[in-house]
Structure 1
Amino acid sequence: MLFKSSINQFVSFRMTSPYATIVDNKEFNAPIFAEKIDRALRAGDKDAVVQVLTSISNAQRQLLREPYKLKYGKDIIAAFDKKFSGDLEKTIFALMETPLDYDVKQLKAAMKGLGTDEAVLIEILCSRTVDQLRAIRVTYEKEFGKALEADIAGDTSGEFRDLLVSLVTGSKDGSHDTNDALAKDDAVRLFADGKAKLAKKDGTHFLHILATQNQYQLRKVFAYFQELSGGTIEKSIEKEFSGDLQKSYLTIVRAASDKQKFFAQQLHGSMKGLGTRDNDLIRVLVTRSEVDLELIKTEFAELYSKSLADMVKGDTSGAYRDALLAIINGNHAIAH
């Protein structure tokens, strides 16, 4: 009992991002909230389930599992599985996974069966921090009994494969250190790659630099590159590369330069045109909801002259739409 109360205390007072839409709910009580979930499930009230789950943080959602199992004799995820389906079920499952487990399962699903969802691999592996990538690698092998880099190598090829494997195996600098002289040298190397039309057989300087330098150093490299070439690093990548490799390098550049702008673009891309890439939409909203979704919302409105909530309203419907809007609007009004 003492152990459980200490966990609840930890959840109540842990550090939360000032830019999160979902934060810890100070009124949270695991057994009471588990009972609310069961009551809503028995009544078939999907909206009520969504309201409960989006009114609490991810850490608090994890604390629902044990009291739910003890009182009702079944796993809460299995209970959700019986009542939900489609994109709403994906959203509920995403909310109930820890961020780490969710990333790991997304990566596995992206490489499962025929065909590979390269967009998922690119977004996760090219935008996560060094510590996050390290944890993903360890958890993936523990969960699936095979190294993540081995699965990636079996599903991809060429410099694209080499880049992703390099990121996963921990070659990226995790510090905040910068070095002006090295940044200038690296900018020259990148410029030379473009001038030589990337004829290297052993991978380009782009691979080595973008896969190893920390985001602060990369920003200096990009600035010097623009001074040297008269154009942005993004323009150079768009000109010299194609396909998944181009998308990967652009993701690293954009995530290093302005992560919130990058995710705003990801969200817009998931909804523009015919059809919605719902898995991508759900993933970004859920994974950023306790990190920087407030900033992403601001960036989205500036980029597209339309609020993220309005675009989601126009692209989704029903309880699924309401769940996404609850994540976007957040729980600040009821959590304090």
Structure 2
Amino acid sequence: MSKSKRKLEPFVAKQEAAQIRENIQNYADKETMEGVLERLSNMKWPQRLETCREYRELAGRDLLQELQASSEPSLHVFIKELLTDRILADVQELSLYFQNVNSYYRELVEFFCLRTNIALAIVSTEYNKSQDISIAEELGEVDDEAVKTLLLGICKGEFNENGYAPNETNIRKDALLLAKAPKTTRWTSRDGKLHQLLQSRSHAYIRDVIYDFEEVTGENFLDAIEAECSHAFLGCMETFDFVISSTQHVFAKKLMQCFLDGNVEELVRIFVNVIEQANVAEIVSYYNDKYERDFFDDLGSVVELPLFDVMKRVVAGRQKDVPKKTPTENGATLKPGKLTQNGTLTAPFSRPSGSSSQNSSNGNDHGSDREGSGHPNKYKFFTHGTVSPLKTFDPYRDIHDFRIAMQHYATNDLPLIYLISSKTNHQRQVLKSVYTEVFDAVLIDDVMETVGDELDYFMAALLLRPDEFDATFLHELIETGNETSFALLEILCSKTVKELKAIDQQYKKKYGVRLSADLAKQLTRNIDVVLLLCELAEAKRVVGWNVDRMAAETDAREMYQQFYRDSPDIDYFVQTLTARSREQLRETFRTFRKFAGIDVLTALEPLFSTEFAEALRLLVLCVEDRVSFFAYCLNEYIQNNDVRNLIRLIVSRSEIDLVEIKAAYQGFYNITLLDDLRPLLDNKPFRLMSGIVLDK
């Protein structure tokens, strides 16, 4: 007969209070105090409050005062925060926000999203009792109607908190409904699709719908909101998108900010919140991986030793609950690449040493198991930028900080580097407008004059709008007459339809001619390559995830037949590879492999000129796996000491998928991207590059 599992002992506040009293009375050493605080931190806050009440009845004294009197001064802030009534603290926090509600939209979004439905219900009841007004009535003072609707939708705690298992059919259905809904109401109306999701679905489900919306429409979720809604609502949705994407990232970023500011009280407050709302050991592990730093090294640089020892002990006590990382397909430790039969990871696009060409079969099978109708593994491949919207963004404050940083740049370049690298491009554009409004000057001109030639190109990449910078860069490439430029191919192959259209519009505005027309006029050496570049610049590619298997089979058979012809039809390949959607092309490539037994490039590359074959190779690799494609491009630029293109590419991906690109790079080349960049850059450019490459 097997032994029955031992039941957990029920929590008895009176016993806990008696044990703590005995420890305080009979022992005064450091180890005992750490044990008491760890014991308290392992309780939920209602249990701690009940223990405090029992202690007061038992000892006739307040537990908070007793612990502070018996402990080192550095521990007082931790003890106070640990024994604080969380509901009372939340009510006070909300009260502060509602004093000037129109200035705290982002903070309110984060507050409501980070709390459970039960917690929000309790806070709402207590707020009504203590303030004699409901949260909904307070939100009635919000000026922006769209923001008001959003906050009213998430303050009620109606999110679905049941276990989440992705249902791709429902996700696609809701994404399509969101895409087809009237643009004037889908985000902001109480009857709109977003509001319906907020009241019935989990955070994870809404996150997946947002990602699928981007795939269905071919446009960025926040870009769509920016075009249709107010700046205030955009700011709220940036915060909402950030919070629901990863609770671990939210808390890790808050902790990092406290370390940067040296704010011990705020650090302890967030640490105790982490204890309440998540597994603190998981957050610490995530912090170490995310920032490539040791949490306890950073902690030791900010807090005194007694507090450090207690916080470290609390984390260690939760460590046993953290699942071990395994390099499985579902895990975060899996890096993009090709897994060989012996289990090793190879770089599919890396060139063998001493070889000027690449065996194109190296990477064509990569990721083939995740494409096709249904997209069974699509939700494992979300991407993340290293730069995300700065939550504490205040343009009117920041422009004055810019002025001060520029004045002291000669002796200390770090403030200016931080001010620029910590913000998204959209926030930098806002800064430029406010700077001009307040100082009647152009921010980019003042920055360029300050940094000089050493960082001028880097600053242009950061401060110009992406379409404006890319249009200028492409014009320079075209003026050189080098149609086989690796950078020219990389840009036109990798940009989305929306990005290409924006670049074309900016190009025509600046140079009076469309990009495709200028390519056809200026580049003449290789007609086939020029034709491919012009078609890519026209941005004719179909956008979406729909796959037509019959069309894919037809295209695959036609490609196969080209292998037996004396002169392949260049126009057919150009039109097919530049007009079909990326998903459709992946299905075509997979179908080709099934009945040909080899991949597309291996079969067709010998039929073309070297230059055209190289252009096709890049396009196919980009279609099959963009993250690995960018890792390969970065390595090409590093090998050729091409600093300008390195800066351009890293800045352009910093808000999109640079986290995954870094992981792919390290997996392929056995060195971190930042370490590989170090020999190419002087001190100041490297510090600025570090600010972009390192996760925030």
Q: Same fold (TM over 0.5)?
A: yes
Question: Offset at 1:227?
Answer: 2.1
CA contact (8 A) 2:481 2:523 kept: no
Q: Distance in 2 between matches of 1:98 and 1:309?
A: 25
Q: Please give the residue correspondences for 1:180-329 in structure 2 after superposition, counting only pairs within 5 Å.
A: 180-200=549-569, 203-272=570-639, 275-329=640-694
Q: Secondary structure at the residue paired with 2:563?
A: helix
CA 1:78–1:247 in 2, change beyond 3 Å: closer, same or farther? same
CA contact (8 A) 1:53 1:61 kept: yes
Counterpart of 1:42, as a letter, is: Q
Which of residues 80, 91, 95 is equivalent to 2:458? 91
Question: Offset at 1:186?
Answer: 0.9
Counterpart of 1:27, as a letter, is: T
Q: Distance in 1 between matches of 2:491 and 2:483?
A: 14
Q: Distance in 2 between matches of 1:240 and 1:86?
A: 46
The more displaced of 13-22 and 151-160 is 13-22
The more displaced of 153-162 and 211-220 is 153-162
Q: Which residue of the partner structure matches residue 231 of structure 2?
A: 7
CA contact (8 A) 1:11 1:60 kept: no
CA 1:204–1:190 in 2, change beyond 3 Å: closer, same or farther? farther
Q: Distance in 1 between matches of 2:573 and 2:481?
A: 30
Q: Distance in 2 between matches of 1:165 and 1:114?
A: 14
Structure with the bigger RCO (C-alpha within 8 Å, sep 6+) is: 1
Question: Offset at 1:116?
Answer: 5.3
Q: Secondary structure at the residue paired with 2:498?
A: helix
Question: Offset at 1:296?
Answer: 0.6
Q: Does 1:43 align with 2:408?
A: yes
Counterpart of 1:315, as a letter, is: L
Q: Please give the residue correspondences for 1:18-97 in structure 2 after superposition, counting only pairs within 5 Å.
A: 19-44=384-409, 45-86=412-453, 88-97=455-464
Question: Offset at 1:115?
Answer: 4.7
Aligned residue pairs total 325
Question: Offset at 1:230?
Answer: 2.2
The more displaced of 293-302 and 69-78 is 69-78
CA 1:324–1:207 in 2, change beyond 3 Å: closer, same or farther? same
CA 1:99–1:46 in 2, change beyond 3 Å: closer, same or farther? same
TM-score, normalising length: structure 2: 0.44
Write out per-residue CA displacement over residues 128-172 of structure 1, whole angstroms, 9 at most, x where no aligned residue. Answer: 112222222222212221111111101224121111222222332
Percent identical across equivalent pairs? 23
Question: Offset at 1:61?
Answer: 0.7
Counterpart of 2:628, as a letter, is: K
Write out per-residue CA displacement over residues 23-60 of structure 1, whole angstroms, 9 at most, x where no aligned residue. Answer: 01111110211111111111124332111111111111
Q: Distance in 1 between matches of 2:413 and 2:612?
A: 41
CA contact (8 A) 2:659 2:695 kept: no
Q: Which residue of the partner structure matches residue 162 of structure 1?
A: 531
CA contact (8 A) 2:483 2:530 kept: no
Q: Distance in 1 between matches of 2:608 and 2:417?
A: 43
RMSD of aligned residue pairs (Cα, Å): 2.3
Gaps of 5+ in 1: 332-336
CA contact (8 A) 1:193 1:204 kept: no
Question: Offset at 1:184?
Answer: 1.4
Counterpart of 1:321, as a letter, is: F
The more displaced of 59-68 and 39-48 is 39-48
Q: Secondary structure at the residue paired with 1:63?
A: helix
Write out per-residue CA displacement over residues 253-303 of structure 1, whole angstroms, 9 at most, x where no aligned residue. Answer: 11111100000001111112xx51112101110010001111111111111
Q: Distance in 2 between matches of 1:43 and 1:194?
A: 64
Gaps of 5+ in 2: 1-101, 103-142, 145-229, 243-381
Counterpart of 1:40, as a letter, is: A
Q: Secondary structure at the residue paired with 2:420?
A: helix
Counterpart of 1:218, as a letter, is: L
Write out per-residue CA displacement over residues 160-201 of structure 1, whole angstroms, 9 at most, x where no aligned residue. Answer: 11112222223321232211121112112112223224344x
Counterpart of 1:277, as a letter, is: D
Q: Distance in 1 between matches of 2:638 and 2:547?
A: 37
Task: Specify the structure having the higher radius of gyration (Cα).
Answer: 2
Q: Which residue of the partner structure matches residue 122 of structure 1?
A: 489
